Structures are given as structure tokens and as C-alpha cells.
Structure 1
Amino acid sequence: MAADEGIVQVFFLSDSTGISAETMGNALLIHFSQLRFERRLIPFIASVAEARRVVAVLDEAADGPGMAIAFTTAATDEIREVLLTTRCPVIDFFELHMSRVESVFGVTAERSIAKLHGVGDVQRYNARMSAIEYAIEHDDGQSLRALDKADVVLVAPSRCGKTPTTMYLALQHGLFVANYPLVEEDLDASELPRPVRHLRERCIGILADAKRLSEVRQARRPNSRYASMEQCRFELRQAEAMYHANRIPVINSTTRSVEEMSTLIIQILQSRTKDRS
């Protein structure tokens, strides 16, 4: 995996869903706003062979031009032992905390993957899984089915941060989130795109700094019209006019983490609920 020298590659590893590794890892990363992170979730590492393949990925990142770090909550000893052979720095949440808890209780924990699926409120867990499935299906306008079920619809030009925010809201809050990309033909009109027009009261617009958007797009499609400053400025200007015309809330994602974006979105949803009551 190629990496920019100024970007820290972050890996979340788990022999289960990886929700815990992401939650705890991001809780630490949020305090390093001076750094830029490229996050990758690697869940369901179910065998030693898979763990070795993950180690190869981690080693490549560790030997690259930039920095790398991994957070793991793998519960199975043999999986964890293999993961810890990597040259990449690893924060092992499971062993770090479990050993201390075992010492307090004076008994050895049952270190089983299955136990993780029983953590907390099963109903809440299932609700989050349904929200994740919905988010995946409705990412980047891939499906228009059951859009009416969305708690919120994020609308934005490409690469403004819709997808990571969508997934975080689903993972952490169990919200049904759809996101819809504004393509050039959408931006020729002041109205919202037809598929989401009837959901205006659930829409939230996202903007970004043109320079930052161009940098992100350059990494995806170098030296393309899509990544040019002129195109980025045009799309952001037209998107902002559309949001204003339809009186939908707007969030700028340039300097905000997904956690901050999600907090603002939840505050907007709560405000809307109060206004209707």
C-alpha cells in the first residue's frame, strides 16, 4: 500500500467485527489533530494463516515512507501472538486491559471470540448491524431502495467525507444513514437531486476546502479534471448554492474528524426533533 509521507497509516485489527478496536483507537487518535490519518479496518481475522497475511500488510506499511500504527482487540491467543510479530507498532487493547482485570478478579478470563458477540445490549448490537448493512447498501447513491427509512441523508460532492461519517454514525449510533454524491449534472440546478428531493428535511450538506478536496482527489485520480482546483471550486460553489436554496444545514469537513462530524449531525437531528415537538 503506497502512502504519503505526511500520512499515518492506521490499522484496526480484530478476530470479530472490529467495532471495539475502531472505537478505542479513534478515541486516542482524536487527540492528534496535527496528524493526518489513513484508516483501514481488518475484521474477522479467523486463522493463523490470515493473521500472517495481515502481518505482511502491516510490515509493508511499517517499512514505507510514512508512519504506521495498529490497534487490535483480537481475543484468540494464537491470532494475537502472530499479529504481534509485525514490525508495525501495535496497541493491544485486549491484553493491555484483560491482564489487569484478571489480576483484580484473581481468575483467568475465557478468551473466546464468541464472548465478544454477547457484550452489552444484544438489541443495540443488532440495531447497529442493521444500520451498517443499510449504510453499505446506500453508500455513494448505490441504491435508492428504502431511502425513506434513512434517519439522515448526507449530500455532498465526491470525496468530501460522506462515507467515513456515514459508517461511523451507523457503527457507533445505529443510525440509518444514506449518502448521495452530487455529480456535475446535479449541480446545474438549484433543486436537490430528484431521488432525495422528497427527503429535504432529512438532508445535511457537506462542504470542504477546495485546496484540501483537490489534494484528496489528486491521490485518487492524479492530474485529472476531476481533481483540478477549478473543478473543485465549481462543485463546492454550486453545492453551497444548492444547500442555501433548499435551506438544509451545512457542515464543513475540512478540519473536522468523523467523530466531530457525527456529533454535529446528531445535534442537528436532535434540534429538528425538538422543533417538531
Structure 2
Amino acid sequence: MTGAVGAPVPVFFISDNTGVTAETLGNALLAHFPGIRFVRRTFPFVDSPPIAQQVLSAARTAGPATLLLVTVRAAEVSAELSAGPFAVVDLIKGHLTALEKLLGVKGAAEVAPHHSIGNLDQYSSRMRAVEYTLTHDDAAGASSLVGADLIIIAPSRCGKTPTALYLALQHGLRVANYPLTEEDYPALELPRAVEPYRVRCFGLTSTAQRLSQIRQERLPGGAYASLFRCRQELRWAESLYRRHSIPSLNTAARSVEEIAAAILQTMHLRPAAAPSSP
């Protein structure tokens, strides 16, 4: 296997379903090796030996150091993947065996796909939350904020929209997001539409360097993306959060999952429906 100073390591996430679990568990493990650069590919719906052979063919093209991270239930498919010349890590089997020992019960050979819709009421609740969040993006629908579980406020490009959508889709929360603009800063007042719902507000911030980089990608060369403007807006936003006791988080080095988890914990929000990956 290639080490920290060698070539990038190809990693295949292989699943007999959508691949979400393989990616989630696999990336959590790979994060423990920051000195190695991984080149990732996902292969969903690998549910038969012929499809497994296609994956192995792709692995041969990627190189002999390819690492296969697998969440596949069918024994014949697992056997096909293990028969190849590549390192295979079964992300389910070891945990399942440990649980069987702890519970004293043999796990079922056939189980319902855990990424299916499942409970239709929960699924419908999450879809309604997504619809609400989409129609309350970037100050839209400000007249109906009374229905929001959470209102995210922040300067432009601090991560409001992806965080709101993640909370809606994964946790069934109705999330509105509202940008802070130059009109809000001089007096350090909350936007008029948001102020009545201050206790539901959560603020995002960033670093000036990161914010400038993101803004340059959208509108390069203008004052909007300048370091001076970004520093000024972030200082104003942080002062506004302190003045109104709005909890906040710096998103510069955090994933959307980390941001969402921090918001849920800080705001004591309980997901409206148990998440079931789409």
C-alpha cells in the first residue's frame, strides 16, 4: 500500500445500494490518515457478480494499490470482490459480528434496504421541510417566518443555503436563511423581518481569507470579494451576534455535517423525523 510520501491511493466505495453508508463510514476512516492523498470513486448498486467484475476491471485500471471499502450483503458478490488482487475492507461484517455476539442473536441474512423511503410519514415530513426551506432561501418568504424551526443569518457566502438544505433533508427541520446586508450593519440591528424571531436565529461567520476566496469564485475582481470588505462584514456580523445574543459558528474549516451538528446541539433542536438517506 502506498504511504504518506507516495502516489495517491485509489479508493473505491462499493455498495449494493446507494453508496451513502460506504462513503460515510469510509471517509470517517480515511480521515485518520491526513498524510495520504486518496482518489475516491463510488460504485453504487453492485448487487451481482457480473457488476462486481466490472468494478474489479475499473480497479485494475486504477492500479494495484486500489483499496476497496465495501458495504455489500450478498455473499456471492462479496466473494467476487475478495477474489481480486485488491485490499478489501468490509465496513459492515465486523460490526455485525460484534453485535451478534453482544445481542446473542444471529443477524438476518436478508434485510430491507436501509436507504429506502421507509416510513412514509417521516419521508413526507422531510420533503415538506425541504420545500419550506427552498421557498425561504436568501430572504425569500420573509412574511411567513413564523413557521420556521430555525433561521440562519450570515453575510453572503458563509454557507447559509447548504446548511439549511442539509438540516431540512436530513433532519426534517423547516429552515429559513436570511443574508445580512449593509443596511443591517451600521446600527447593528437584526433585519426587520427576522427580529421578532430572534430566539430562533443562529449566525454563521468565516475567515476573511476564506470568504474572499469563495466570493472571488462567483464575482472575481470586485469590491464584494475584497479582503477589506470581507473583514468589515465579518466584524459587523460578529458584533451584531454579540449585541443580540445570537449563537454563532465559524464555518471556514467545517463541513456542512459539522455545522449542522453544532447548530442542532446549540439550539437544542430535535429532528422532526429520523433521517433516512435518500
Which band: TM-score by shorter chain? 0.5 to 0.7
1:106 is displaced (CA, Å) by 10
8 Å CA contact retained: 2:47, 2:74:
no
Aligned to 2:42: 71
Aligned to 1:207: 205
Instruction: Give deviations 1:180-210, integer Å, cap 9, x for gaps.
Output: 1112222233110011111100001111011
Distance 1:222 1:202 in 2: 34
Q: Which has the higher helix share?
A: 1
* Residue 97, structure 1, aligned to residue 95, structure 2: no
| 1:246 counterpart (244, 247, 257) | 244
Runs of at least 5 residues in structure 1 that lack an aligned partner in the other structure: 1-11, 36-65, 273-277
Q: Which has the larger radius of gyration?
A: 2
Distance 1:105 1:263, change over 3 A: closer
Aligned to 1:154: 152
Distance 1:96 1:183, change over 3 A: same
8 Å CA contact retained: 1:134, 1:176:
yes
1:165 is displaced (CA, Å) by 1.3
Aligned to 1:6: none
Instruction: Give deviations 1:85-124, integer Å, cap 9, x for gaps.
Output: 989999999x84243498899989999xxx96543x2222
* RMSD, aligned α-carbons: 4.3
1:271 is displaced (CA, Å) by 8.0
Where relative contact order (Cα < 8 A, 6+ residues apart) is larger, the structure is: 2
Task: Please give the TM-score of this superposition, normalised by the length of structure 2.
Answer: 0.63
> Mean Cα displacement is larger for which, 219-228 or 182-191?
182-191
Instruction: Give deviations 1:207-253, integer Å, cap 9, x for gaps.
Output: 10111111111112222211110010010011111111111101111
1:151 is displaced (CA, Å) by 0.8
8 Å CA contact retained: 1:71, 1:91:
no
* Sequence identity (%): 38
SS at match of 1:263: helix
8 Å CA contact retained: 1:128, 1:170:
yes
Distance 1:197 1:224 in 2: 31
Task: Please give the TM-score of this superposition, normalised by the length of structure 1.
Answer: 0.64
Distance 1:216 1:148 in 2: 31
* Residue 188, structure 1, aligned to residue 186, structure 2: yes
Distance 1:72 1:246, change over 3 A: farther
Provide the aligned length of Structure 1 versus Structure 2: 224
Q: What are the equivalent positions in structure 2 for 1:52-131 lying under 5 Å apart? A: 69-71=40-42, 73-74=44-45, 96-100=71-75, 117-119=116-118, 121-131=119-129
Aligned to 2:161: 163
Distance 1:242 1:128 in 2: 32
Aligned to 1:175: 173
Distance 1:106 1:271, change over 3 A: closer
